[in-house]
Amino acid sequence: MQGSVRQMIKDKKEKQQSRSKIVEKLVPGFLLLCAIISVLTTLGIVFTLIVETITFFNHVSIIEYFTSKDWYPFFESDPDYGIWPLISGTLLITGIAMLVAVPFGLGAAIYLSEYATDRVRRIIKPILEVLAGIPTIVYGFFALTFVTPVLQNVIPSLPVFNALSPGIVIGIMIIPMIASLSEDAMSSVPNAIREGALGLGATRFEVAVKVVLPAALSGIVASVVLAISRAIGETMIVTVAGGATPKLTFDVTESIQTMTSYIVQVSLGDAGYGTTIYYSIYAVGMTLFLFTLIMNLVAQYISRRFREEY
């Protein structure tokens, strides 16, 4: 070894001095740019939405939009623009999805965090997360070509396009999201607390339900709310398997249309640029955006407000 380590570091430093100064100055600027781009994009999207939505409301009265119970934009003579059928379709799908996803997702989370051995957890968790990586179009065809026929065996009158099948499939799709996030929340509850309960003669189930679950509640609720906003925004599955019949109904066996699938329908070329129909997708998009925005804010509020400190 030639010279001391101290000398080597000094030599190296001198060589790098000029270059590193520039790098030190440029790097924060570049990183700032990365951060700003996403903010600007968001602002741009919101701006476009607002401008085009205002244009839409110049064509159609905002009162009709919120009071009419019919959504018939394609009627030549007297189109109806009442948002409620699309909202009911969206909520119906979301409701069905949550009925599937919450119990199974939570069940999976409790199993993984409280019962599974390390080995089982290491095998199951990645598999569960693969579910989240499947493209939604695949889920869509799964709903249309597999789930719907199966359901038709049970409910013979079920039409090919219905709310039930895509609702169930969206539920299946978001199970991993709830399971994974809730499991994280539950695993971060300290073991000492579990031991305290076990030491009082509690069974593992009592520990899971009466100690761990409440302690992890904020994380669990946040995961559910995020899952809801995912279900609200889901597009492909409902477009493929839900039909295109905007209807103010809460009958799960009927064909419906969600906000997202309406936007797809129009974007695919059913309406020319500049028409009222064209602008309507922005109004619907804005409504959808507000829905998911509110859900995300609720999730943030809940995870801060209901944190059980440990």
- Interacting residues toward another protein by CB under 8 A: 117, 190, 192-193, 195-203, 206, 210-211, 214-215, 308-310
Query: Helix or strand or coil: residue 154?
Result: helix
Nearest approach, Cβ of residue 215 and another protein (Å):
5
DSSP per residue over 273-300, as a string? TTSHHHHHHHHHHHHHHHHHHHHHHHHH
Residue with tokens 């509850």: 189
Nearest approach, Cβ of residue 183 and another protein (Å):
18
Nearest approach, Cβ of residue 214 and another protein (Å):
7
Q: Are 247 and 254 in contact (CB under 8 A)?
A: yes
Q: Which lies closer to another protein via its Cβ, residue 98 or residue 207?
A: 207
CA distance 284 to 262: 8
Closest CA to 310 of 202, 212, 183: 212
Nearest approach, Cβ of residue 304 and another protein (Å):
16
Q: What amino acid is encoded at 106 in this protein?
A: L
Nearest approach, Cβ of residue 196 and another protein (Å):
4
Q: Which lies closer to another protein via its Cβ, residue 17 or residue 191?
A: 191
Q: Which lies closer to another protein via its Cβ, residue 149 or residue 214?
A: 214
Q: Which lies closer to another protein via its Cβ, residue 54 or residue 193?
A: 193
Q: Which lies closer to another protein via its Cβ, residue 66 or residue 310?
A: 310
C-alpha 167: how far from its chain's center?
14
What are the residues facing 72 on neighbouring strands?
80
